[in-house]
Amino acid sequence: MNDKNRITFGLIVFIAIVTFPFWYNLGKASSAPELKLSEKAKAAKECVKPKEIMRQEHMQILDLWRDTVVRDANRAYKSGSGKTFGMSLSSGEESCLGCHESKTEFCDKCHNYASVAPYCWTCHIAPEEKKPEENKPEENK
């Protein structure tokens, strides 16, 4: 006598759990999100740092900006290429969202795919998104 049936059942459950990602995604095509640069960003041509670095390190830049503004009251950032940016998440033309005008079409696309939910928006307000006119970002602090 042995407990083969019960053990086999447990093993099948275990394998089902281990292979869960394979059947969860069954028949779904996956592709990374296509990012749409806003007109303003296209005109500006360059970001704070080269694209590859932005992709990986933009949160660290934001962290640095946040600390610099709040601790040193310094709101202007000189980039490597000599351009000046406003060290702000969402206020002013030269801030992240001042240039990348649409949060949903840009930041969120990536973040949803990678499942990151920055908590910034519990305090900061993203500029209102209206397609045709250029909206001045809200003063929100």
* Contact flag: residue 104 with another protein (CB under 8 A): no
Residue count, binding to another protein (CB under 8 A):
39
Q: Is 85 in the site for ligand HEC (CB under 6 A)?
A: yes
**Structure token pair of residue 131:** 């397609």
With b for 16 or more beta-carbon neighbours within 10 A and e for fewer, the 73-109 pattern comes to: eebebeeeeeeebbbbbbbbebbbbbbbbbbebbbbb
64 binds ligand HEC (CB under 6 A): no
Amino acid code (one letter) for 43: A
Give the up-direction half-sphere exposure of residue 92: CA atoms within 13 A in the CB hemisphere.
13
According to CB under 6 A, which one of 1, 123, 132, 139 is a site residue for ligand HEC? 123
Asked if residues 101 and 127 have their Cβ atoms less than 8 Å apart, the reply is yes
Tell me: does residue 125 bind ligand HEC (CB under 6 A): no
Measured from the CB atom, the residue of 71 and 115 that comes closer to another protein is 115
Residue ranges in contact with ligand HEC by CB under 6 A = 35, 37, 41, 44-48, 51, 54-55, 58-59, 61-62, 65-66, 69-70, 85, 87-89, 91, 94-97, 99-100, 106-107, 110-111, 114, 116, 118-120, 122-124, 141
